[in-house]
């Protein structure tokens, strides 16, 4: 189910991932998969309008979260030790906050005027950032459910929003070809990272907050040094020209960049050396999303409508 690549010294000791389980709980395309901060749970979002919470140990469904009237595009976990809450972004133009332990919707955030495409909690879990096809980034107060900032961030749909390690910054990417850094407290623009004709499909801060991983719809993943303002690594080989495909950092052993691909594979690169170390094969449609367990060598991936599966991969 997988193929290793790059026969050189940096990958000689690499232990390949293998498929452990295929989950078929959703009836439509998978749009997002995310592990909770503790890694005890993971959740999936789907165009079938639902979210599902699973046990990372048993790989069995615990809850199905039902309430959105249209497809769910993204999800994020709160950062408290037991990951109490999940927030979700939907084509129904709302952001919902769910109790991940009971499956209940506790709050619905309204204000976006078009599809809500991406969402994330800040590290303190008192704020949520969302990006929409209405070209704005909204910052919400979790307690009140009110928008703290409505930022006219881009000239085309916002494809990703992510907070840095201390929550002081937000990075946003857009189909308008720009990637921007915002001050969380004021909502003001601090820096434009990319400004070209290639749509930005995904952007997120590295776990240490020093770098930003940016994916563009020209088959490129780039790692940007925020302090120096320079791109320092390029990761290539995957296919990404159409869809906003999520990428992730794997930091449980050796450090890897993990990404989905339109050729139905999951790609793993060595973070430092840029070498492609493995392609995970088995999905039958674009792999739109990936997530890496915070403490174990486990990857979860999700495929689009001709696949509709979630696949769990592990290292022996």
How many contiguous H segments (helices) and E segments (strands) does the chain have? 0, 29
Within 10 A of 116 (CB to CB), how many other CB atoms are there? 28
Distances from the Cα of 189 to the Cα of 1, 24, 96, 114, 185, angstroms: 45, 42, 26, 23, 11
Domains, the chain, ordered by start: 2-315 (2.130.10.10)
pTM: 0.95
Within 10 A of 235 (CB to CB), how many other CB atoms are there? 24
Within 10 A of 115 (CB to CB), how many other CB atoms are there? 18
Per residue of the chain (316 residues), what is the pLDDT tens digit?
455 444 343 445 889 999 999 999 999 999 999 999 999 999 999 999 999 999 999 999 999 999 999 999 999 999 988 899 999 999 999 999 999 989 999 999 999 999 999 999 999 999 999 999 999 999 999 999 999 999 999 999 999 999 999 999 999 999 999 999 999 999 999 999 887 889 999 999 999 999 999 999 999 999 999 888 888 999 999 999 999 999 999 999 889 999 999 999 999 999 998 899 999 999 999 999 999 999 999 999 999 999 999 999 999 8
């Amino acid at each position: 189910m997988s193929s290793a690549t790059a026969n050189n010294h940096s990958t000689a000791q690499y232990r390949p991932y293998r498929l452990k389980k295929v989950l078929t709980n959703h009836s439509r395309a998978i749009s997002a998969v995310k592990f909770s901060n503790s890694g005890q749970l993971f959740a999936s979002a789907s165009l079938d309008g639902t979210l599902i919470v699973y046990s990372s140990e048993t790989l069995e469904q615990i809850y199905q979260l039902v309430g959105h009237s249209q497809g769910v595009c993204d999800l994020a976990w709160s950062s408290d030790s037991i990951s109490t809450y999940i927030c979700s972004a939907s084509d129904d133009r709302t952001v919902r906050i769910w109790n991940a332990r009971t499956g209940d919707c506790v709050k619905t955030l309204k204000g976006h005027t078009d599809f809500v495409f991406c969402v994330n909690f800040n590290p303190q879990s008192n704020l949520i950032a969302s990006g929409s096809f209405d070209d704005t980034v909204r910052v919400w107060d979790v307690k009140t459910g009110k928008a703290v900032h409505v930022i006219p961030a881009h000239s085309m749909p916002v494809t990703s929003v992510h907070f840095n390690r201390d929550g002081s910054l937000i990075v946003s990417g857009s189909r308008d070809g720009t990637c921007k850094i915002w001050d969380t407290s004021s909502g003001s623009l601090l820096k434009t990272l990319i400004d070209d004709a290639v749509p930005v499909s995904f952007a997120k801060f590295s776990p240490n907050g020093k770098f930003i991983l940016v994916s563009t719809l020209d088959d490129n993943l780039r790692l940007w040094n925020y302090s120096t303002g320079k791109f320092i690594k390029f990761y290539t080989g995957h296919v990404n020209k159409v869809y906003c495909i999520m990428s992730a950092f794997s930091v449980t052993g050796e450090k890897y960049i993990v990404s989905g691909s339109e050729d139905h594979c999951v790609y793993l690169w060595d973070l430092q050396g840029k070498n492609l170390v493995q392609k995970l094969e088995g999905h039958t449609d674009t792999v739109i999303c990936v997530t890496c367990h915070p403490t174990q060598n486990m990857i979860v991936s999700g495929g689009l409508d001709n696949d509709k599966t979630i696949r769990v991969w592990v290292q022996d």
